[in-house]
A and B are shown apart, each in its own frame.
Chain A
Amino acid sequence: MSLKLKKENIDEAVRTIMELGGKGILNCVQCGACSAVCPGVKAGFPVLCRLLIKKLTTGQLEEIIEEPSSWGCQACNRCTEVCPQGVRPQEVVFAFRRYQANEMAISTSTTTSQMNFYETGHAVYTESSKELRKQVGLPEAPPTTVSDAQGLKEIQTLLENSPMGELGFF
């Protein structure tokens, strides 16, 4: 099956990404330097940086809405450092994520982290860490929001008032 290119789709994809913060998307010349250094791409999330931009600039915004690759971005910003055209690829990735989030097309890996964050104040927090802490003579709960109800409440209030909260995420 061949890809159907349509001007309306391309315009909409580019406009959406630019409005959500990916202002440099049209500067991209598809050289691939960003993907050459991207830890996410190396970890097996191919639709990051260059390929994400390619797909967006061919108008495939809706087609890739469920794409989990964008959530593999570690925000290291090396793409921005090496990009010769000032695209700032990370901003494009984040803009696409905002689009996905607004449409509630968020990958399960990310949902779990978000819920963890809401419930404990940590994006990554596992039961097994309790045991580990006990073994080295530390209290089970670390002295963070996990054991500070007041602090956790503050984080939850912030999250509820954030765009994620407005989406009815929590």
Chain B
Amino acid sequence: MAKVGVYVCHCGSNIAGVIDVEAVRAFAETLPDVVIARKDLFMCSDSGQEQIKQDIRDGLVDRVVVAACTPRTHEPIFRAACEAGGLNKYLFEMANIRDQASWVHPHDPEGATEKAKLVVASAVGKAKFLQPLEDKFVNVTDAAMVVGGGVGGIFAALELANMGHKTYLVEKEPSIGGIMAMLDKTFPTNDCSACILTPVMVDAAAHPNIEVMTYSEVVGLDGYIGNFTVKVNRKQSYVDWNKCTGCGACAEACPAKAGDEFNQGLNDRPAAYIQFPQAVPKKAVIDMESCINCAGRKIGSEPKVSKKTGQPMLAPCEKACPADAINRSLAHDPAGSIEEVNVGSIVVATGYKVMEKESFKEMAPESPNVVTALQLERIISATGPTGGKLLRPSDNKKPKTINFVSCVGSRDEKHHTHCSRVCCMYMIKQARLIKEKYPDINIYMHFIDVRTAGKDYDEYYTGARKMGINILRGKVGGMEILPDDRVRVLGFDMDQQEPVEIESDLVVLATAIELPKSATTLGQTLGLQFCGSGFFRELHPKLGPVETSTRGLYLAGCCQGPKDIPDTVSQAKGAAAAAAVPLAQGRVKIEPILSEVQPEKCSGCGICVPLCPYNAISLKEWGERPRAEIDITQCKGCGVCTTACPSSAIRLHGYEEDQIMAQIAALTS
């Protein structure tokens, strides 16, 4: 006979504000097999947990039901309390009377109380059939992968590598560095972005524990925490990176043109190119999308022999390369070459993109003098298309009036409702940099409201006002193109309650930060969840900011939500610390809430095999016939096989038939 103890939590006013906790407690006492029912203001507090432990030690109870908030955050806490009291922790059951009663029925206290009683009855019904289970352990591959080679990924990789773990740093572009490498200066200190980032990029590339895999993309993931197999597509570059010295001769020789991604499409780059001057690794690639096969030198073929000279006719890039590193004879393979990498944990730091101006038809996107803030960043950067001179794109003349427009696509129901968080600061940064260099330029900034919270940030903003930068409170409603490629900005000055019109030579749009399409695909490949804003969802917005719902996968940087460089680096170091835990322990625990086949009942029909979403089931010879077998490292305990098995041969531990039937009986009686 089970001795069930029920503990009802007030959760402060979270539960007790709606539900009559005493009524639920008194009701629990009347349930069969319940020997004790208590309540506490906070069951998760030390005293609350101690009560459970004491009742177990005193031999009063041998099954524990806690009616409280949510198993998502609190099941581990109460399981641990049971264990500490000397009870198998799987003899614990949680009744969620917060999410399922008090929170969803705040205006119906009586109904919520009745529902809470039912939820408790259901948990008690199950509890008496609970059986002790043992945790299982598997060994861990001592290596980590960081996906994304921006500032977040670089710091996560360095952190893991410095802890002594082999780390693969995967980046889809030819060089690591990400968007930070494109920035001119960084707020609020105005230090040169490349100058602070490049040494770190070099450190990462030179680290004995880091293997940098650039021009590579993750295309597949198998396995589970501790034992992941990641498929990495190493894109074809047609340049032997062992020979390439990064001299750039091929780029100079290449006549093909394509939009320069690094310069935000403001100028063209050749098809053979080095991504940017400080690239790490500094290696050339030939991008087949824009290659024009000069001299009929098609990729994947041997060169034709000249009738005149008898020499092979080579493409300009091949001829120019002093290191003989270019190999155009390689067959073109758009799938690239797939490499399998075994790691124990993965940090995802794939970053962000800014929205293109084309999404905003009211902002005159057809004008070349309307640019995104990231384009302006390239225009004022020494490595940018104008060599750092501030020139407007239409005619390469110095602008006299510049307008900055905030919240373009952010805080907007038509695009993204979230605040992109860094725009106010980077716009002020750009305005200040321009004003410092060219005090004669008129600068107007339009804000819904200025968001510069935190240490040194608001000082940076007030400093901009002191420099004579005009700040107008009010969102820009539209723009009109004027002769001479000027733009009329239709704004509003809230303080004067009047619409304002400013004729402008250059307009800078602070477009929203969003997850790039490639990251969305990657997220689906890795099985990550997405939040309402379209970014990757963390395990818990407060208590699990670097973890995901998949154990062994961690998040850092803007792929989890907009953030600036300091926040990205902090989160990257946090994610690396979390990702190092399983590696450092050498083994990971697997909860025994898993399916198990009873081979003597299994008919070997195989229905379960294709149904399993985790490929955990296979048919194995047992006796004379094939029977299903479940790989516990793959099984996630979803229960699909259990419900589908026609012979009822599969048990899902923790959700056995008698337990579920008892729950149903309690809910329907």
Contacts and interface: CB of A to CB of B under 8 A. Distances in A.
A38 B414 CA distance: 20
Contact of B474 (A36, A38, A78, A81): A36
Nearest to B362: A82
A163 interface: no
Interface string B474-508: 11111000000000001110100111100000000
A92 interface: no
B412 interface: yes
A82 B477 contact: yes
B407 A84 contact: yes
Interface in B410-429: 411-414
Contact of A37 (B411, B413, B478): B478
B492 A33 contact: yes
Contact of A32 (B362, B414, B478, B492): B492
Given A31-B448, A82-B477, A84-B413, A46 B362 contact: no
Which of the four size classes fits the interface of chain B?
Answer: 20 to 34
B477 A34 contact: yes
Contacts of B413: 84-86
Contacts of B500: 36
B511 to A, nearest CB: 13
A93 interface: no
Interface in A17-43: 29-38, 41-42
A50 interface: yes
B362 A84 contact: no
Contacts of B411: 29, 84
Nearest to A24: B413
A73 interface: no
Contacts of B476: 33, 36
B492 A35 contact: yes
A149 B239 CA distance: 86
A67 to B, nearest CB: 14
A73 B33 CA distance: 72
Contact of A81 (B362, B448, B494, B498): B362
Contacts of A38: 499
Given A29-B448, A31-B407, A51-B497, A36 B477 contact: yes
A32 B407 contact: no
A37 B490 contact: yes
Contacts of B475: 31-33, 36, 82, 84
A81 B490 CA distance: 14
A78 B414 CA distance: 15
A56 to B, nearest CB: 15
Interface string B554-579: 00000000000000000000000000
A46 B477 contact: no
A41 B492 CA distance: 11
A42 B477 contact: no
A85 B411 CA distance: 8
Contacts of A36: 474-478, 490-492, 499-500
Contacts of B491: 36
Contacts of A34: 477
B470 to A, nearest CB: 16
Which of the four size classes fits the interface of chain A?
Answer: 20 to 34
A48 B550 CA distance: 51
A124 to B, nearest CB: 26
A79 B478 CA distance: 10
Given A35-B499, A84-B412, A78 B494 contact: no
A35 B478 CA distance: 11
Contacts of A41: 498-499
Interface in A120-151: none
A31 B478 contact: no
A33 B490 CA distance: 9
A78 B477 CA distance: 9
A100 B203 CA distance: 71
Interface in A61-107: 78, 81-82, 84-86
Contacts of B490: 36-37
Nearest to A79: B477
A30 B494 contact: yes
A29 B389 CA distance: 38
A48 to B, nearest CB: 11
Contacts of B478: 36-37, 78, 82
A126 B448 CA distance: 45
Contacts of A85: 412-413
A84 B499 contact: no
A78 B478 CA distance: 10
A26 to B, nearest CB: 14
Nearest to B363: A82
A84 B414 contact: yes
A54 to B, nearest CB: 9
Given A50-B492, A84-B412, A33 B499 contact: no
A78 B490 CA distance: 12
A41 B491 CA distance: 12
Nearest to B413: A86
Nearest to B490: A36
Contacts of B497: 46, 51
Contacts of B362: 81-82
B168 to A, nearest CB: 42
Contacts of A42: 499
A128 B141 CA distance: 92
Nearest to B494: A32
B451 to A, nearest CB: 13
Interface in B496-532: 497-500
Contacts of B494: 30, 32
B583 to A, nearest CB: 45
Nearest to A39: B499
A154 to B, nearest CB: 40
A92 B475 CA distance: 19
Interface string B315-355: 00000000000000000000000000000000000000000
Given A31-B407, A32-B494, A33-B477, 15 more contacts: A29-B448, A31-B448, A32-B475, A33-B474, A35-B499, A36-B491, A36-B500, A37-B490, A38-B499, A41-B499, A50-B492, A84-B407, A84-B411, A85-B412, A86-B414
10 contacts: A30-B494, A32-B474, A33-B474, A33-B475, A36-B492, A36-B499, A37-B478, A41-B498, A78-B477, A84-B475
What are the nearest 3 A-B pairs in CB distance? A36-B477, A32-B492, A37-B477
